[in-house]
Copies of this chain bind each other. A is one copy, B any other.
Amino acid sequence: MEFSAEMKASILVDALPYIQNFYGKTIVIKYGGNAMVNDDLKNKVMHDIVLMKYVGIRPIIVHGGGPDITGFLKKFGKESRFVSGLRVTDKETVQIAEMVLVGKINSEIVSRLNKLSVNAVGLSGKDAKLIIAKKKMAVIHNMDGSSEKIDIGFVGEVETINTELLNDLLDQNYVPVIAPIGTGSDDSSYNINADYVAAEIAGAMHAEKLLLLTDIEGIYHDYNDKNTFLSTLTQKQVKDMIAKGEISGGMIPKVEACLCALEKGTGKTSIIDGRQAHSLILELFTSQGIGTQVIR
């Protein structure tokens, strides 16, 4: 279907209140999942981010690594072993993860953004000590109800975010693109879940919004009943649903990231469906919104 220029103009003007609402605000985008795999979606996300930048938003991108890391580990003949969903990560594994995240994925995102005439700068948590990390232990729940902590190597969690470099870059109109590698006090690299990194950065930057691009529509009361879609949840509601087991599995880190970001100072958070074209623009600039937002 072709649109008339008049229709286009009127749609642009309809976006005005949304544009005004986010003007000058910082928005953190966790970029991952399908939107990082499908070339057409990649391209659309990049356009969305550039548009955000040009209408006055200060976007920060945090990306994950996903299938690429596993792929490269395989090429190196390393089998990935998981404990409680966390990859056991020896020195060589974290080295390869860092190379893939920083030297391949981050690099490619930066390149795509720059091609669209913004100035993107790739960062890892090591740059100016952006992300100070500490070791994260895996927790195993035994049959007898007891639990124990297992050292799985260089998997980390965020200890501190140093926002100074981010603010310096944003103030000079750069778009920071961040790989989820933290630096330990012992100078080791730590691989950190990108959802949590995005949440911590959104919190430390007092971002207006945290947007998590995922491969699902959002949260359902009953996942099997598409009519029970939940477009807004409060912190309390989320905590209740986790307690009741209504939220579980891969959705846990997403909602935990939302809760963490809210607690540390982010305005609002949204879990949005990155499989949908222009999902960022849809979420920010149309009345419809998409996905599930988690708010105070």
In the complex, chain A residues 76-99 whose Cβ is within 8 Å of any chain B Cβ:
76, 95, 98-99
Given A111-B126, A119-B165, A12 and B9 contact (CB-CB distance below 8 Å): no
Contact yes or no, A281 B13, CB < 8 A:
yes
Residue among A14, A44, A117, A127 facing the most chain B CB atoms (10 A cut-off): A127
Q: Is A143 an interface residue (CB 8 A)?
A: no
Interchain nearest-CB distance for A154 vs B (Å) = 13
Contact yes or no, A128 B174, CB < 8 A:
yes
Binding-face segment, A101-109, A196-204, A214-222: A101-109
Collect the chain B residues with CB atoms within 8 Å of residue A1's CB. 7
Interchain nearest-CB distance for A122 vs B (Å) = 5
Contact yes or no, A110 B127, CB < 8 A:
yes
Residue-wise, chain A 271-296 has the 8 Å CB interface mask toward B (1 for contact) of 00000111001100111101000000
Contact yes or no, B122 A127, CB < 8 A:
yes
Collect the chain B residues with CB atoms within 8 Å of residue A172's CB. 168
Interchain nearest-CB distance for A167 vs B (Å) = 10
Collect the chain B residues with CB atoms within 8 Å of residue A99's CB. 99-100, 102-104
Interchain nearest-CB distance for A270 vs B (Å) = 14
Known: A101-B103, A111-B183. 17 other contacts (CB 8 A): A5-B286, A8-B15, A9-B282, A9-B286, A10-B278, A12-B12, A12-B51, A13-B51, A16-B51, A98-B104, A99-B99, A99-B102, A99-B103, A102-B107, A107-B124, A115-B187, A121-B165
Residues of A within 8 A of B (CB): 1, 3, 5-16, 19-20, 23, 44, 47-48, 50-51, 54-56, 75-76, 95, 98-104, 106-107, 110-112, 114-117, 119-124, 126-129, 165, 168, 172, 174, 181, 183, 187, 189, 276-278, 281-282, 285-288, 290
